[in-house]
Chains A and B, each alone.
Chain A
Amino acid sequence: MNDLAIELKGVSKRYPYFALDNIHLEVPRGQIMGLIGPNGAGKSTTIRILLGLVRQERGEVRVLGHRMPSEQVAAKWDIGFASDDMGLYEGMTLAWHMNFVRSIYPNWDAPYAQLLLKRFGLRAEQKIKGLSHGQRVKSTLLLVLARRPRLLVLDEPTTGLDPVARHEVLRELTAVMTDEGRSVLFSSHNTQDVEQISDRITFIDRGRIIDSLDKEAYLDRWRRLRLELLPGAVLPFLPGIIGIRQEGRLAVATANAFAADMANAYESAGVRVKSVEAMTLEEIFVANVERSREEVEV
């Protein structure tokens, strides 16, 4: 047994208008990995490959020590997967679904399922067809969480939820981490959720992984510098600065590899560093995508 819950090596998959290109991804056991990227970046395809639902053309996939997709039957007992388009039976109640899942998975935790019903504000006797979108999402999550799987894979678990429901879902996801042997991979457009609960962040755009790093290290690399050029000074080019906006003698630089000696380099070129600001994941997300688009176009 190694210490990786998920391991993707050189995984590729081609579609007519989209290709997943040489994906390397590692999720250590006991950690929460947040997968972020714009629409159509390849998040869901990556998730479907690691679940064995889509077969990769090249590369190796291991999940909880199982090779995928060949050992997906053995792996699925330990994996809980939830996404927006999970098939629930419209004519059946949530209670029926709970019994159904319980009959298949021996680890089903009935008291926990009852607790989740209460926390999510759901009623077991209600039929699926009468549920709102948010209630369906929460029902799907309940069915997965109460199995207490060793690996949770969630595709957009908080999309379409009201703030209270989102809060409850995040609470349950972080509660999973009391157990060091369990791991979570979730994709989201909500960068605030990812920033709050992830241990690692993987950033995908256009079928490629742009970054996959420890969250603290990742956030630390990005900084916004507010600069003032002394009369006659010219902004020097510094490695690690990926964007500059200048208007008159004021400029704002964005660093994706911030280093403390940047300030000295600027000062010696006649540029005063007025402030150095941390960036939110949302700001980093936008800066990263804009830059990756420019690179592709050049």
Chain B
Amino acid sequence: MGNAFVISQSDKRPIYLQIMEQIRQRVAVGDWTEGQAIPSIRQLAVDLQVSVITVKRAYLELERDGVIVTQQGRGSRVASNPGLGMRLQQQELEEHLEQALRLADMLGIRHKDLEARLRETGERRMEKEGEQV
């Protein structure tokens, strides 16, 4: 099995967050299905060449988020949770919205104006789609 986990050094986020994101993606696109066994903490650490404690942290937080379950001595599995993929995509949207807010704050754009710009973006897209039809 190919291992397509990639830890980026130019990514400013901590490694554990990168691991969490890549596991979430696998679950969201359905490559990792409900109840499926996933690599042990030690195995993934060795595969990614990162410390055990970093993977452990990613797994703990994913467990807290209800994405995976870990049983002592029996390894970790994707949580059996209907609608999990959908929820993960919701969460991703949430993260993008927060990122947009952060950028807006940095640029000194008021939240009202940000809302207006989101609406404008939506309208522009509708127009474009209209042209294509």
Please tell me if the beta carbons of A178 and B42 are within 8 angstroms of each other in the complex: yes
Instruction: Decide yes or no whether A196 CB sits under 8 A from chain B.
Output: yes
A117 cross-chain contacts in B, Cβ below 8 A = none
Q: Which of B10-24 contact A (CB under 8 A)?
A: 12-16
Min C-beta distance of B38 to chain A, whole Å: 17
Q: Size of chain B's interface in residues, with CB distance under 8 A?
A: 21
**Residue B51 is within 8 A (CB to CB) of chain A in the complex:** yes
Q: Which of B9, B46, B49, B105 has the most CB of A within 10 A?
A: B49
Question: Nearest Cβ in chain A — how far from B2, in angstroms?
Answer: 17
Query: Which of B51, B54, B57 has the most chain A CB within a 10 Å cutoff?
Result: B51
A170/B106 contact (C-beta < 8 A), A180-B42, A196-B15, A215-B54 known:
no
* Contact status A170-B49, CB under 8 Å: yes
Q: Judging by beta carbons under 8 Å apart, are A275 and B12 in contact?
A: no
Q: Output the nearest chain A residue to B49 by Cβ-Cβ distance.
A: A174
* Other-chain contact of A275, B15, B42, B54, B102 (Cβ < 8 Å): B102
Q: Which of A167, A198, A200 has the most CB of B within 10 A?
A: A198
Is the beta-carbon distance between B14 and A199 smaller than 8 angstroms? no
Q: Which residue of B lies closest to A34 (CB)?
A: B51
On whether A216 and B53 interact (CB within 8 A), knowing A178-B42, A192-B9, A278-B13, the answer reads yes
Knowing A178-B46, A219-B14 touch, does A31 contact B106 (C-beta < 8 A)? no
Contact between B57 and A31 (Cβ–Cβ < 8 Å)?
A: no
* Residue A32 CB within 8 A of the other chain: yes
Give Cα distance in the complex from A214 to B12, angstroms.
20
> Which residue of chain B lies nearest to A171 when distances are taken between CB atoms in the complex?
B49
B residues with CB within 8 A of A: 7, 9, 12-16, 42-43, 45-46, 49-54, 57, 102, 105-106
> What 7 A-B pairs come out closest when comparing CB atoms?
A199-B53, A174-B49, A199-B51, A216-B57, A178-B46, A174-B46, A197-B51
